[in-house]
Structure 1
Amino acid sequence: EAFLYSSHCGVAAEQLKNNPRHKAYLEGVSLCQLKKLHVLLRGHLRGESLAESLGKIEQEQNIDPEEDMNKLDDEELAKRKRIMDELFEKNRKKKDDPDFVYDIEVEFPQDEQLESCGWDGESCEEV
């Protein structure tokens, strides 16, 4: 079951957020938070503990780096892409962040022996 990002949870969260009666109260609440809340409530109604529901949310938000995404169907692939986009935005440094640095310079140690990759040592004529 697509747990956190199921269309049912997303639709319910959007309807709640866009409802004129609740709009003023939920203006500062993100759609993602409302989806999580909906998942927690559904889990509670199914008899799941809070820890079980939170564990499913956590599992649903993680990306397995070993997973072959070429084997996923379009819906599952879109879900993984949404998760990666959210993680990127969450971790991205913005100009307004207090620890933002515009131009980072890194010096790499030169005393180590550099290995050739093989492909970069051939001339263009050999190819």
Structure 2
Amino acid sequence: MVLAFSGLSLAKYVTSSPALMRFLKPVADAYARAAGYRKMGLRYDDLLIEENDTAQKAISRLSERETYDRAFRLRQATQLSVLHRQLPKEQWVTPQEDRRYLNPLIEELRTEEQERAAWDTVKVKKDKH
């Protein structure tokens, strides 16, 4: 089944509906807790697949501090995984800290790519005077 909302993404559709938000927010919060990535000190965007060009470009656009913090979180989580441990509870990433830092850059890059593709396919009509 394909859902089409006249150009709206499903996330935008859900967030625009207070009733859906009241229903789905607890489910989303429970899923994030069950996933366990916050217990390892990771943010959601740390889990995104980096092997595509868009993600690589977005990572390269991060500030120096955000790049350092991301590398630290990934190394720390890898070490904790090897040791089969979690961070102490006071060091877990809170839902307020788990903000999307990479996704806005990825969306910006996709918009740029669409704009570039639109300009690359522009046909110029010569005026006959």
* TM-score, normalised relative to structure 2: 0.27
* TM-score, normalised relative to structure 1: 0.27
